[in-house]
């Protein structure tokens, strides 16, 4: 029988595993990100602004959407890695702005994809720097969930149209049914994160609830 081998610590068996950003690093990135209007003013061309504004005007939240959002109680910082030039961003980010307008619990900021490469490197999708990508934090900047770049409904539509390999131009507006599906997809993500925060034992202890 061969001699027994020493037990290797799990910490040492995954080389080059790297280090994720700290809470302080995430908060610093969030503080440098911009609110919706300021982001567009800083990064968008006139044409970009027209697309974002057209998309924003097309979005409407139903009473059931508003009821969900009105039930939020935990502060929820959300940072969206984005590009003012991106059609997918132009069609989706205005939805998130409507959510933040509906509740003071959502602290929504936008970070240009190229502004902080060291942070953007941690927000890739399938090894690529896709946008938009939203990262949700607890009030003290522990990461909770990262979500991007299109929602499930949008990907189903893209596959059906055989056009899922490139970024949408944002010129052709989605149908009302498709838009409502994407709104529902995003709201489910926001609600799930809010429930994680609401039921967190650590946060319940802090808030004594």
Note the pLDDT of residue 160.
Answer: 82
The 10s digit of each residue's pLDDT in 149-159 is 999 999 998 88
Helix axis angle, 46-58 to 36-43, nearest 10°: 150
Share of the chain above pLDDT 70, in %: 87
The domains of the chain are located at: 22-207
DSSP 34: B
Instruction: Look at residue 18 in the predicted model and tell me its pLDDT.
Output: 72
Q: At what angle do helices 46-58 and 87-102 cross, to 10 degrees?
A: 50
For 31-73, the pLDDT digits (tens) are: 999 999 999 999 999 999 999 999 999 999 999 999 999 999 9
Least confident window among 54-68, 121-135, 142-156, 170-184: 170-184
> What pLDDT is stored for residue 158 in this prediction?
85
Fold classified for 22-207: Glutaredoxin (3.40.30)
Taking the C-alpha atoms of residue 151 and residue 172, their distance in angstroms, rounded to an integer, is 17
pLDDT at 77: 98
Say yes or no to pLDDT of 11 above 90: no
- Residues contacting 81, CB < 8 A, separation 6+: 111, 113, 119, 120, 123, 131, 132, 133, 134, 135, 148
Collapse the DSSP code of 32 into the 3-class scheme (helix H, G, I; strand E, B; otherwise coil) and give the result: helix
Of 55, 123, 125, 65, nearest in space to 95 by CA: 55
Q: How far apart are CA 136 and CA 143, in angstroms?
A: 6
Percent of the chain with pLDDT over 90: 81
Quick check: 13 pLDDT over 80? no
3-state secondary structure of 76: strand
Give pLDDT, residue 12. 54
pLDDT at 132 over 70: yes
Q: Is the dihedral of CA 163, 80, 32, 119 positive or negative?
A: negative
Of residues 17 and 131, more confidence is placed in 131
CA distance 167 to 93: 14
- For the stretch 67-115, pLDDT in tens is 999 999 999 999 999 999 999 999 999 999 999 999 999 999 999 999 9
Q: Are strands 133-137 and 106-112 parallel, antiparallel or unpaired?
A: unpaired
Alpha helices in 59-163 (DSSP H): 63-70, 87-102, 117-120, 152-160
Chain centroid to CA 134 = 1
3-state secondary structure of 29: helix
Is the pLDDT confidence value at 118 over 90?
A: yes
With both helix axes pointing from N to C terminus, report the angle between 87-102 and 176-199 in degrees, rounded to the nearest 10. 50
- Looking at the predicted structure, is the pLDDT value of residue 171 above 80? no
């Amino acid at each position: 029988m061969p001699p027994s081998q020493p037990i290797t610590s799990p910490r040492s068996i995954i080389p080059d595993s790297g280090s994720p950003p700290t809470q302080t690093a995430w908060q610093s990135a969030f503080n440098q990100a911009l609110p919706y209007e300021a982001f567009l003013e800083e990064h968008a061309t006139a044409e970009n602004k027209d697309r974002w504004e057209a998309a924003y005007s097309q979005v409407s939240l139903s009473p059931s959407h508003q009821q969900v959002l009105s039930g939020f109680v935990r502060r929820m910082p959300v940072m969206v890695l984005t590009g003012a030039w991106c059609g997918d961003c132009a069609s989706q980010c205005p939805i998130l702005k409507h959510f933040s307008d509906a509740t003071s619990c959502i602290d929504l900021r936008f970070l240009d994809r190229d502004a902080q490469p060291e942070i953007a490197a941690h927000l890739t999708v399938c090894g690529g720097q896709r946008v938009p990508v939203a990262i949700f934090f607890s009030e003290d900047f522990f990461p909770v969930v990262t979500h991007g770049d299109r929602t499930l409904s949008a990907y189903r539509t893209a596959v059906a149209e055989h056009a899922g390999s490139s970024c949408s131009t944002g010129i052709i507006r989605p149908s009302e049914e498709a838009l409502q599906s994407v709104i529902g997809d995003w709201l489910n993500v926001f609600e799930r994160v809010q429930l994680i925060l609401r039921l967190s034992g650590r946060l319940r202890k802090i808030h004594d609830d």
